């Protein structure tokens, strides 16, 4: 499974740049549960304590971002109990990479399953194996053959009012109106674990990663932002004039080259300049140009290792003010409002 990654290179007199992403939505707003699987468990990294229990043959492997969990398509699943407002708005999003699609083995593969007040697992979110169409059984199914083997896909199931939508890799592939009454997510990777028939189990066969549950319907821009975590396709720099930007999608081979504005703070956006970026693509960005003779900028060092393996730690990095020739100067010469953080929290997941 390919990992999301990007690389930013800088050339010119002021080789060190302050890079920052464009204005982004708060992706923690309404976050109910978040399983990153980075610690090879189903601990809830969202901080609300909705930890899952691994069952069957689940293995830890390379995911889209750090680690993911691999399900064997037979008896592997995760027990969870996460409230989901069936009558309200919600979103369920995850990365997936399907290892095998076999309609003779089962008619569905389940990403997550939900229950109503009777505790029965009545709804499954996944895809049909015969038609390879994503769906929310029994409420909504896409018509196109869109589930593919050994390919990374970012899928979101959302409900806004009475509108249900399925969004794959930034494109809405199914939509309809319904009033589902299920109130909780019960399992990951299987529909009905206690069933004897694989057609009732509907197990997932492949890798799941970065599974998030929200108590609101994410919009298209927020879903795109989630799918681009780890990809630097836009940003800004201080200290450069006549900035030249070369964006290369290493996965597709496409490149775009453009000049940014001749101002002390230059912004760049590869996608707005025509670079096609799909979730999971590797993007390289090369910045080059001449430094402003009067410009000062912040230089960020790399983050040091987290102080704790779990339970909440601290990461530190150096942040220094430099003149256009790359020499360290007094911090007062740089814009204090744009100073990058030198501390951040890390490994917030609960310890076993």
What distance in Å separates the CA atoms of residue 164 and residue 123, rounded to the nearest whole number? Answer: 13
Q: How confident is the model at residue 122 (pLDDT cuts 50, 70, 90)?
A: confident
Give 303-336 pLDDT, tens digit per residue. Answer: 888 888 888 788 888 988 887 667 788 888 787 7
Q: How confident is the model at residue 13 (pLDDT cuts 50, 70, 90)?
A: very low
101 or 52: which carries more pLDDT confidence?
A: 52
Task: Please spell the DSSP secondary structure of 253-306, one letter per residue.
Answer: --EEEEE--SSSEEEEETTTTT----TT--EEEEEEEEE-TT--EEEE-PPPPP
The rounded mean pLDDT for the chain is 80
Q: Where in the chain is the domain with CATH 2.60.120.200?
A: 31-227
Across 34-38, average pLDDT: 94
Give 72-107 pLDDT, tens digit per residue. Answer: 999 999 999 998 865 688 999 999 999 988 888 888
What distance in Å separates the CA atoms of residue 202 and residue 127, rounded to the nearest whole number? Answer: 10
Task: Assess contact for 71 and 97: CB atoms under 8 A.
Answer: no
What distance in Å separates the CA atoms of residue 34 and residue 44, rounded to the nearest whole number? Answer: 5
Paired sense of beta strands 67-72 and 205-214, if any: antiparallel
Which of 130, 91, 121, 99 is CA-nearest to residue 182? 121
pLDDT of the residue at 33: 94
| The domain defined by 31-227 carries CATH number 2.60.120.200 | yes
What distance in Å separates the CA atoms of residue 110 and residue 43, rounded to the nearest whole number? Answer: 20
What distance in Å separates the CA atoms of residue 247 and residue 8, rounded to the nearest whole number? Answer: 9
> Please, what is the Cα angle at 319 between 314 and 322, to 5 degrees?
175
pLDDT of the residue at 54: 97
Give 198-247 pLDDT, tens digit per residue. Answer: 999 999 999 999 999 999 999 988 888 788 776 667 776 655 556 778 88
3-state secondary structure of 144: coil
pLDDT of the residue at 189: 95
């Amino acid at each position: 499974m390919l990992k999301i990654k990007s690389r930013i290179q800088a050339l010119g007199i002021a080789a060190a740049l302050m890079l920052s992403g464009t204005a982004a939505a708060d992706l923690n707003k309404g976050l109910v549960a978040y399983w990153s699987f980075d610690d090879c468990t189903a601990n809830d990294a969202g901080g609300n304590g909705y930890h899952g229990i691994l069952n069957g043959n689940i293995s830890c492997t390379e995911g889209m971002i750090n680690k993911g969990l691999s399900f064997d398509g037979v008896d592997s699943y995760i027990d969870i109990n996460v409230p989901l407002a069936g009558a309200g708005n919600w979103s369920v999003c995850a990365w997936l990479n399907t290892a095998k699609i076999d309609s003779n083995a089962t008619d569905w593969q389940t990403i997550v399953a939900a229950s109503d007040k009777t505790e029965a697992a009545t709804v499954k979110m996944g895809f049909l194996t015969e038609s390879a169409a994503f769906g929310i059984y029994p409420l909504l199914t896409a018509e196109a053959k869109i589930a593919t083997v050994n390919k990374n896909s970012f899928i979101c199931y959302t409900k806004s009012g009475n509108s249900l939508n399925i969004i794959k890799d930034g494109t809405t592939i199914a939509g309809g109106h319904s009033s589902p009454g299920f109130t909780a997510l019960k399992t990951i990777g299987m529909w009905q674990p206690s069933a004897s028939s694989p057609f009732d189990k509907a197990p997932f066969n492949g890798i799941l990663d970065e599974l998030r549950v929200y108590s609101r319907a994410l919009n298209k821009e927020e879903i795109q932002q989630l799918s681009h975590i780890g990809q630097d396709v836009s940003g800004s720099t201080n200290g450069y004039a006549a900035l030249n930007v070369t964006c290369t999608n290493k996965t597709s081979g496409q490149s775009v080259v453009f000049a940014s504005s001749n101002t002390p703070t230059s912004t760049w956006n590869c996608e707005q300049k025509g670079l096609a970026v799909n979730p999971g693509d590797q993007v390289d960005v090369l910045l080059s140009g001449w430094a402003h003779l009067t410009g000062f900028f912040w230089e960020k060092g790399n983050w040091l290792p987290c102080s704790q393996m779990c339970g909440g730690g601290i990461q530190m990095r150096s942040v220094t003010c430099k003149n256009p020739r790359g020499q360290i100067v007094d911090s007062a010469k740089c814009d204090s409002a744009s100073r990058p953080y030198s501390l951040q929290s890390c490994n917030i997941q609960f310890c076993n």
